[in-house]
């Protein structure tokens, strides 16, 4: 029998609180004289079968005793106006037991259709594919104990390896609010065998695959989990179970996502730290950890050394202070498998092992010492000797050119016999400098076979201020797993030829971010984050840290300077002051002053971290000595000092309750230095210019 449903009259009705169509009457073998109700007005309707002129049947429900056209509100109501009838919805509906689908639920005089309802257990499931208001969610939840399935199969959905989470880009604007109103469980349908359990209804801003997205963050679950979580035992048909179990395609996976809002940073910080602690380091693995100031990266590395107690781990850093620091901690914590070393020390070991000579002397090549290596240069002009030294150092620091004649040609337009002779002496082992060691090691691949047999793993600290040649050697000539740590925002040695190592790591590297600082508390942390671009930092510190409030009267503090000029000038006006590295600096300042004034030497000013040469040039010997003696009068030991003076460069990695920043810093030009300075304070951070 071919049945045609009229458009003008209701083609559905409520039968025992379930929505039915004329088709269902036959399907469920319903008595045609049963009580049917109108969905629109709740009044009784009748079922009618009528043969048309063209010999087809028309079947519909109708209101008895109605004058034609008086019930347009009821007559014009079609099934797809009261319930979702899209393909996705129909697919789910098809897998629901006949008597459990499209059940009418009422609250006061409002009613709605629950997509699936198990009356025995009083549990419903709602399939959500279209926008829905918070009020609608609330009224449905108020009528029925409902779990919800949201269709996210058209969205950007990914499993995330780090943290074992799943992310889903938020589809409808109003779903963002709607999910927060849902009382019971929410599962996201992804179209794959991974579903997402959305326990946390917040929306997060994250970066994934280089793009910023607003997402939900949930837990990937299997269909078996969904079956349990949604109590589907009585609801789903055998065919439905088979269908969902039969889906074999999994969600696409990304390695890691990054927090780009406060909430996501809080959530991901824990997950990222957890991941690092449980990471299995395999041959060739490169893990990079970008960690903000005060995020406890040294603690993390020490912890890792303990976790991997069977591995011999080399800890590498440029900075001797860092090495000393970690040596103390290793001793305190009884760690036996971590070997701290500077790059130069490792190079030296490799050199000795290659040359078979212990205790080789490493010289410092200067305009003075070069005369001992090439006697012909004795008594020749300073400028000549100096320029050869410079060229030699430059060649050693060039990771690309391995032939010295090529290099000389490129630099000066001609061959340089003196330079070639110098390098020959290095190659024949007649003398060695640390720079030359680097170059030789890079060309000769000394590290291959050396590092891999000596250690099981390498930790590299301060990756943001790295050396290109060392990086090449580590990446090309070693295969043991490596972990690079550092903070991109604290790269402050680019003027000295350093590179940001994070930018040169191979694509296969896994980059993890640590967001939380345990040093700088709020509100200062919040302010600092907004002051810098790409500053992904949150505070987990108990400190109450404020900016611009002034150092409390009588409190001791640390005073940070960008330049030695400003530091020395200011030191004259303070009593009980301690200056970090003062004696060593004054010795070198006197030497420098002599070179600049007496010999009228030309220094390449970009080799200095600040404007010191320019400042010294402006001083006579008397000026300089007066300055030094007036500072000397004020100096006390660090312990007795009311104020401790440091350059920002030398205060990296350190902290104090009260920190004051001098106004000799160009906060736009020296953004990273400014960031370093700002992130040193635990209680009061004072900017002189504010």
Integer CA distances (angstroms), 149 to 190, 249, 586, 645, in order: 10, 19, 72, 62
- Nearest distance, CB of residue 108 and Zn ion, angstroms: 19
Window of 33-41, 212-220, 408-416, 440-448 that interacts with Zn ion by CB under 5 A: 33-41
Backbone angles phi, psi at 385, to 5 degrees: -60, -45
Which residue number, 109 or 248, has a Cβ lying nearer to Zn ion?
A: 109
Which residue number, 38 or 305, has a Cβ lying nearer to Zn ion?
A: 38
Size of the site for Zn ion (CB under 5 A): 4
* Rg, the chain, Cα only: 37
What's the token pair of residue 166?
């799943």
Which residue number, 40 or 184, has a Cβ lying nearer to Zn ion?
A: 40
Which residue number, 11 or 264, has a Cβ lying nearer to Zn ion?
A: 11
Q: Coil, strand or helix: which one is 503?
A: helix
Window of 36-44, 94-102, 118-126, 326-334 that interacts with Zn ion by CB under 5 A: 36-44
- Nearest distance, CB of residue 38 and Zn ion, angstroms: 3
- Nearest distance, CB of residue 66 and Zn ion, angstroms: 9
What's the token pair of residue 32?
């045609």
Distance CA 310, CA 488 (A): 31
- Nearest distance, CB of residue 101 and Zn ion, angstroms: 22
* Among 9, 25, 38, 367, interactor with Zn ion by CB under 5 A: 38
- Nearest distance, CB of residue 73 and Zn ion, angstroms: 7
Which residue number, 40 or 405, has a Cβ lying nearer to Zn ion?
A: 40
What's the token pair of residue 634?
């004020």
Which residue number, 64 or 379, has a Cβ lying nearer to Zn ion?
A: 64
- Nearest distance, CB of residue 71 and Zn ion, angstroms: 6
Distance CA 411, CA 394 (A): 10
527-553 per-residue burial string, b: 16 or more CB within 10 A, e: under 16: bbbeebeebbbbbbbebebbbeeebee
Indicate if the alpha-carbon torsion angle 524, 530, 532, 533 is positive or negative.
Answer: positive
- Nearest distance, CB of residue 13 and Zn ion, angstroms: 9
Which residue number, 71 or 385, has a Cβ lying nearer to Zn ion?
A: 71
Q: Which of 78, 62, 61 is nearest to 70 (CA)?
A: 62
Distance CA 362, CA 351 (A): 11
Contact between residue 168 and residue 156 where contact means Cβ atoms under 8 Å apart: yes
- Nearest distance, CB of residue 40 and Zn ion, angstroms: 4
- Nearest distance, CB of residue 76 and Zn ion, angstroms: 11
Residues 247-276 that bind Zn ion (CB under 5 A): none
Which residue number, 16 or 445, has a Cβ lying nearer to Zn ion?
A: 16
Distance CA 136, CA 179 (A): 11
Report the Cα–Cα distance between both ends of the chain, in Å, rounded.
88
Which residue number, 41 or 443, has a Cβ lying nearer to Zn ion?
A: 41
Window of 35-43, 151-159, 505-513, 672-680 that interacts with Zn ion by CB under 5 A: 35-43
Window of 37-45, 428-436, 626-634, 658-666 that interacts with Zn ion by CB under 5 A: 37-45
Which residue number, 41 or 224, has a Cβ lying nearer to Zn ion?
A: 41
**DSSP code string of 48-115:** EEEE-TTS-EEEEEE-TTPPTTS-HHHHT--HHHHS--SHHHHHHHHTB-GGGEEEEEEETTEEEEEE
Locus of tokens 């797809």: 80
Residue 77 binding Zn ion, by CB under 5 A: no
* Among 40, 139, 237, 393, interactor with Zn ion by CB under 5 A: 40
**E strand or H helix at 426, and its extent?**
helix 417-427
- Nearest distance, CB of residue 84 and Zn ion, angstroms: 21
Give me the 657-686 binding string for Zn ion, x by CB under 5 A, dash otherwise: ------------------------------
Which residue number, 63 or 158, has a Cβ lying nearer to Zn ion?
A: 63
* Among 16, 34, 35, 41, interactor with Zn ion by CB under 5 A: 41
CA triple 19-25-29, angle to 5 deg: 125
- Nearest distance, CB of residue 45 and Zn ion, angstroms: 7
Window of 39-47, 182-190, 307-315, 425-433 that interacts with Zn ion by CB under 5 A: 39-47
Residue 74 binding Zn ion, by CB under 5 A: yes
- Nearest distance, CB of residue 132 and Zn ion, angstroms: 25
Contact between residue 114 and residue 99 where contact means Cβ atoms under 8 Å apart: no
**DSSP code string of 597-651:** HTS-----GGGSSSSHHHHHHT--HHHHHHHHHHHHTTB--TTT-SEEEEETGGG
**What residues contact 17, with CB distance under 8 A and at least 6 apart?**
103, 104, 105
Which residue number, 41 or 212, has a Cβ lying nearer to Zn ion?
A: 41
Residue 14 binding Zn ion, by CB under 5 A: no
Query: Which residues sit at the interface with Zn ion, rule CB under 5 A?
Result: 38, 40-41, 74
């Amino acid at each position: 029998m071919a049945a045609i449903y009229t458009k003008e009259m209701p083609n559905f009705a409520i039968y025992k609180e379930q929505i039915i169509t004329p088709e269902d009457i036959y399907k469920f073998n319903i008595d045609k004289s049963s009580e049917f109700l109108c969905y629109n007005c709740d009044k009784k309707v009748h079922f009618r079968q009528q043969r048309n002129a063209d010999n087809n049947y028309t079947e519909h429900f109708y209101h008895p005793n109605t004058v034609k056209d008086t019930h347009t509100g009821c007559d014009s109501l079609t099934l797809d106006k009261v319930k979702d009838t899209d393909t996705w919805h129909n697919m789910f509906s098809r897998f629901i037991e006949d008597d459990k689908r499209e059940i009418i639920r009422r609250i006061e005089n409002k009613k709605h259709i629950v997509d699936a309802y198990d009356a025995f257990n009083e549990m419903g499931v709602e399939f959500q594919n279209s926008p829905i208001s918070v009020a609608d969610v609330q009224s449905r939840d108020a009528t029925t104990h409902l779990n919800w399935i949201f269709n996210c199969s058209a969205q950007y959905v990914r499993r995330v390896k780090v943290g074992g989470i799943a992310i889903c880009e938020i589809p409808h604007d109003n779903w963002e609010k709607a999910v927060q109103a849902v009382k019971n469980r929410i599962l996201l349908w992804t179209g794959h065998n991974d579903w997402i359990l959305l326990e946390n209804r917040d929306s997060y801003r994250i970066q994934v695959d280089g793009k910023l997205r607003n997402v939900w963050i949930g837990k990937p679950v299997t269909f078996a989990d969904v079956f349990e979580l949604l109590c589907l035992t009585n609801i789903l048909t055998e065919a439905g179970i088979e269908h969902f179990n039969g889906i074999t395609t999994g969600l696409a996976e990304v390695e890691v996502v990054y927090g780009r809002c406060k909430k996501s940073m809080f959530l991901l910080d824990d997950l990222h730290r957890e991941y690092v602690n449980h990471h299995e380091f395999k041959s060739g693995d490169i893990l990079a950890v970008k960690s903000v100031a005060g995020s406890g990266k040294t603690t993390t590395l020490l912890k890792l050394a303990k976790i991997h107690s069977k591995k011999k781990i080399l800890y590498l850093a440029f900075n001797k202070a860092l090495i000393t620091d970690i040596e103390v901690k290793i001793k305190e914590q009884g760690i036996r498998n971590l070997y701290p070393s500077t790059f130069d020390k490792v190079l030296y070991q490799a050199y000795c092992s290659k040359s078979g000579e212990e205790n080789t002397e490493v010289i410092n090549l200067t305009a003075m010492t070069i005369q001992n290596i090439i006697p012909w240069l004795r008594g020749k002009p300073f400028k000549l000797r100096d320029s050869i030294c410079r060229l030699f150092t430059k060649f050693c620091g060039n990771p690309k050119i391995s032939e010295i004649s090529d290099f000389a040609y490129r630099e000066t337009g001609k061959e340089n016999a003196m330079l070639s002779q110098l390098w020959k002496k290095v190659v024949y082992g007649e003398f060695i400098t640390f720079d030359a060691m680097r170059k030789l090691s890079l060309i000769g691949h000394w590290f291959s076979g050396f590092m891999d047999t000596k250690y099981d793993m390498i930790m590299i600290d301060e990756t943001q201020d790295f050396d290109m040649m060392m990086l090449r050697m580590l990446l090309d000539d070693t295969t043991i797993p490596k972990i690079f740590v550092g903070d991109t925002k604290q790269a402050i040695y680019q003027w000295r030829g350093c590179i940001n190592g994070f930018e040169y790591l191979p694509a296969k590297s896994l980059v993890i971010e640590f967001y939380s600082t345990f040093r700088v508390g709020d509100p200062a942390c919040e302010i600092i984050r907004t002051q810098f671009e790409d500053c992904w930092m949150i505070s987990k510190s108990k400190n109450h840290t404020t900016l611009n409030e002034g150092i409390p009267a009588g409190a001791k503090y640390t005073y940070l300077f960008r330049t030695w000029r400003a530091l020395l000038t200011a030191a004259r006006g303070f009593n009980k002051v301690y200056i970090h590295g003062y004696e060593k600096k004054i010795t070198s300042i006197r030497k420098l002053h002599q070179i600049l004034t007496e010999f009228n030497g030309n220094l390449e000013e970009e080799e200095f971290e600040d404007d010191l040469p320019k400042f010294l040039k402006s001083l006579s010997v008397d000026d300089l000595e007066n300055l030094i003696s007036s500072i000397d009068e004020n100096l006390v030991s660090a312990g007795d000092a009311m104020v401790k003076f440091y350059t920002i460069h030398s205060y990296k990695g350190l902290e104090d309750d009260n920190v004051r920043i001098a106004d000799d810093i160009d906060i736009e030009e020296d953004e990273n230095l400014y960031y370093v300075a700002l992130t040193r304070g635990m209680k009061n951070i004072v900017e002189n210019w504010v």
